[in-house]
Structure 1
Amino acid sequence: MGRKRFITDSYPVVKKREGPPGHSKRELAPELGEDTQSLSQEEAQLELLRQFDLAWQYGPCTGITRMQRWHRAEQMGLKPPLEVHQVLKTHSEDPRFQFSLWHLYPL
């Protein structure tokens, strides 16, 4: 008997090109507050809050507001960024700032 054939044997081997320098699938999201110099102040603040939403170390963010999540993280001793709290206090009535990135998606 010959070698066992696999379905992948019928496809040619193609080597993928490298992406642009500095770009990798393994790159992590930028730290909170990084790379926001080119954005307007409001856009920079929203980006800071999006990064806070994506930071897993402060616990889940679905079903609660960002302020509730920030307070929960603080009570648990997780040291959430003070900049996030300041932005949330400044825009306490604006739903774009108060609700997490995922609030429009049904649970």
Structure 2
Amino acid sequence: MTTKRGLITDSFKVVKKARNGVKREKRPTPPPPQKGEEQQCVLSSCLEPETETVREEELQRLTHFDLNWRFGPCTGISRLQRWERAKLHGLSPPEEIRDLLLQTHTDPEYNLSLWSEYPL
């Protein structure tokens, strides 16, 4: 006696969604701003500056340092302690990170690692 082995798809009905007959209307593209005319921002993304501030760029570099496991774990210690430990073990951490941390040693947002908010 052979038992027919069914597929999981055999036990469920095939249900197809009906397509809406309504197509989305395409909006015409707005004309380019005229010379001397200021462009108005409609989207919320226009309200943010196009370029990152220096602080955001520095914090981004420090986040990349935190995420790079080549320099060892970063939980439970400050970024500067991690940098010094990596240097002690010959892992060649970037000098620019150390310089940045020494310049901003009073700011906890710079000193504490990305994972400092999570309990150990």
Whether TM-score is above 0.5 comes out as yes
SS in 2 for 1:87: helix
Long gaps (5+) in structure 2: 15-50
Offset, 1:4: 3.7
Question: Structure 1: which 4+ aligned runs deviate by more than 6 Å?
Answer: none
* CA-based RMSD: 2.0
Q: Equivalent of 1:2, from 1, 4, 23?
A: 4
Using the alignment, how far apart are the partners of 2:88 and 2:10 within structure 1? Answer: 53
Counterpart selection for 1:95 from 83, 97, 108:
108
Distance change >3 Å, CA 62–CA 5, structure 1 → 2: same
**TM superposition shift of 1:6:** 3.0
Deviations 1:48-67 (A, max 9, x none): 00110000110000000000
Task: Classify the secondary structure of the residue corresponding to 2:85.
Answer: helix
Q: Post-superposition shift, 1:78?
A: 0.5
CA 1:82–1:7: 2 relative to 1, 3 Å: farther
Larger radius of gyration: 2
Task: Give the distance between the partners of 1:71 and 1:88, measured in 2 at CA.
Answer: 11
- State the partner residue of 2:85: 72
Match of 1:35 in 2: none
Identity in percent: 41
Count residues with an aligned counterpart: 82
Measured against aligned partners, the alpha-carbon deviations of 1:25-65 in whole angstroms (never above 9, x if no partner) come to xxxxxxxxxxxxx3111110000001100001100000000
